[in-house]
Amino acid sequence: MTIHLTTRGSRRVLAGLGATALAATLAGCGLSEEDSVGNAAGGGGECGGLTATGDVIDPEGLTDVPVVVGSKDFDEQFVLGELTSQYLCLWGADNSTDLNTQGSTAAREKIIAGDNNIMWEYTGTGWINYLGNDEPIFDPVEQYEAVKEADIANDVYWGPLSPFNNTYAFATTAAFAEENGLATHSDMAAYLEENPDASVCIEAEFANRPDGYPGFTKAYGITGGDEQSLGIGVIYPQIANGNCDFGEIFTTDGRIAANDLTVLEDDKTFFPLYNGVPVTSVQYNEENPEVMEALAPLAEGLTTEIMQELNTKISAEGVSEEIIAHDYLVEAGFATEE
């Protein structure tokens, strides 16, 4: 979604998995803690103990096609990057990963330069942050098509649209919401009007984005609230323990369920849509159009609910992106375990 500023270490505190148990689990999947499945399995060889299945994947469809999969520096991106790498391995690609590039702009520049070939981007980020538009398009297909057409001029090609939408929202605890009759952002605005000292926790970047808190407060007529700047990874537990009455969240984040938070409805539809899309450079797509064609079934199956489940595993349960990707490909019917 969006330009998130979450560090990779935020989910490395393993919930219920000690280092020994994790190593054993990785070994059982044919992986090591040092190597991703993509790096270990490129060129159509063994893909972390997975074999392509069904009619969707052609195991020789991308034979000898080089693919470096990149990502930004937050949990959802690690999952998407690793999932894409393992999936392309099943197609026979000569694949590797370069995950955890800090900052959306730096990650995008790697795509344009050809250092990386595939990464996941978000339509709202493309439309507002890269293309400089002030007004969001609230139809997901229309926004996707507009971004795809316009970004060609910047040498960025947008691949197949995914249904998951990782947009912004505000959340509070279930108990606080029930006690104060909070279900929507308008309810939040009314509460802040009556309780101007109530705490609102947001990340620094969100405090200055046109699609962030300044625009949000204007849209909802918010004048009260004690703004507190926190790292996005800190906000979720701070809401849960009552230190933040309201907090900025991302709608596919696994820490919503892990902390039993209630997401407030954006009843005035202020926040843009941030549907996930794999992107590449125009040149790479012209040379290897079959890569984006191959990614269509993967992208089309990733709903908001599925991404919430995958993100819960990495952010709240401490499961590695390698294992999450491996298990999802099996569960989704793309692969079987050897």
Residue 2 falls inside a structural domain: no
Dist CA 66 CA 61 (whole Å): 12
What's the CATH number where 219 sits? 3.40.190.120
Pairing of strands 335-337, 50-52: antiparallel
What local confidence, expressed as pLDDT, does residue 210 receive?
74
State the average pLDDT over residues 100-113: 95
Same-domain check for residues 43 and 32: yes
Q: Give the tens place of pLDDT for each residue, 4-18.
A: 333 333 433 333 333
User: In 3D, which of 74, 80, 71, 78 has the Cα closest to residue 4?
Assistant: 74
Average pLDDT over residues 184-191: 98
Q: What is the torsional sign of CA 254, 214, 238, 241?
A: negative
Of 263, 295, 327, the residue at which a domain comes to its end is 263
Tens-digit pLDDT profile for residues 243-287: 999 999 999 999 999 999 999 999 999 999 999 999 999 999 999
CATH code assigned at 287? 3.40.190.10
Cβ(286)–Cβ(174) below 8 Å: no
Share of the chain above pLDDT 70, in %: 86
Same domain, 15 and 161: yes
Phi and psi torsions of 175, nearest 5°: -65, -45
Average pLDDT rounded to a whole number, residues 137-152: 98
Q: Are residues 125 and 16 in the same domain?
A: yes
What pLDDT does residue 199 have?
A: 98
Instruction: Tell me the percentage of the chain whose pLDDT exceeds 90.
Output: 79
Stretch among 152-156, 206-210, 266-270, 319-323 having the lowest mean pLDDT: 206-210
- Pair 192, 97 in one domain: no
Are 235 and 287 contained in the same domain?
A: no
Contact between 251 and 165 under an 8 Å Cβ cutoff? The reply is yes
Residue 52 sits in the same domain as residue 130: yes
Give tens-digit pLDDT for 43-92. 334 698 999 997 899 999 999 999 999 999 999 999 999 999 999 999 99
Ramachandran bin of 246, using left for φ above 0, alpha for ψ from -120 to 50, beta for the remaining angles: beta
289 in a structural domain = yes
With contact defined as beta carbons under 8 Å apart, do 161 and 277 qualify?
Answer: yes
For residue 211, the 8-state DSSP code is: T
Q: Which of 109, 34, 41 is nearest to 70 (CA)?
A: 109
Tell which of 219, 234, 263 closes a domain.
Answer: 263
DSSP string, 254-270: THHHHTTEEEPB-TT--
Q: What mean pLDDT value characterizes the chain?
A: 88
Residue 94, CB-side half-sphere exposure with 13 Å CA sphere: 5
pLDDT at 44: 37
Residue listed under structure tokens 């998995």:
17
Confidence of residue 39 (pLDDT cuts 50, 70, 90): very low
How many Å apart are CA 84 and CA 159, to the nearest integer? Answer: 13
> In terms of residue numbers, what domain contains 113?
8-165+273-337
Whether 178 and 89 map to the same domain: the answer is: no
Query: Does position 28 have pLDDT exceeding 90, yes or no?
Result: no
Name the band, by pLDDT with cuts 50, 70 and 90, for residue 188.
Answer: very high
Helix and strand tally (H, E) in the chain? 15, 12
How many domains, in total, are found in the chain? 2
Q: How confident is the model at residue 20 (pLDDT cuts 50, 70, 90)?
A: very low
- 33 and 142 assigned to the same domain: yes
Q: What is the pTM of this model?
A: 0.81
User: Is the same domain home to 57 and 94?
Assistant: yes
End-to-end CA distance of the chain: 35
Residue 156 neighbours by CB under 8 Å, 6+ apart: 108, 111, 112, 126, 130, 279, 280, 281, 282
Report d(CA 315, CA 214) in Å as an integer. 28
Regarding whether 155 and 16 lie in a shared domain, the answer is yes
Tell whether 1 is covered by a domain. Answer: no
Shared-domain flag, residues 254 and 310:
no
Say yes or no to pLDDT of 41 above 60.
Answer: no
* Residues 32, 126 within the same domain: yes
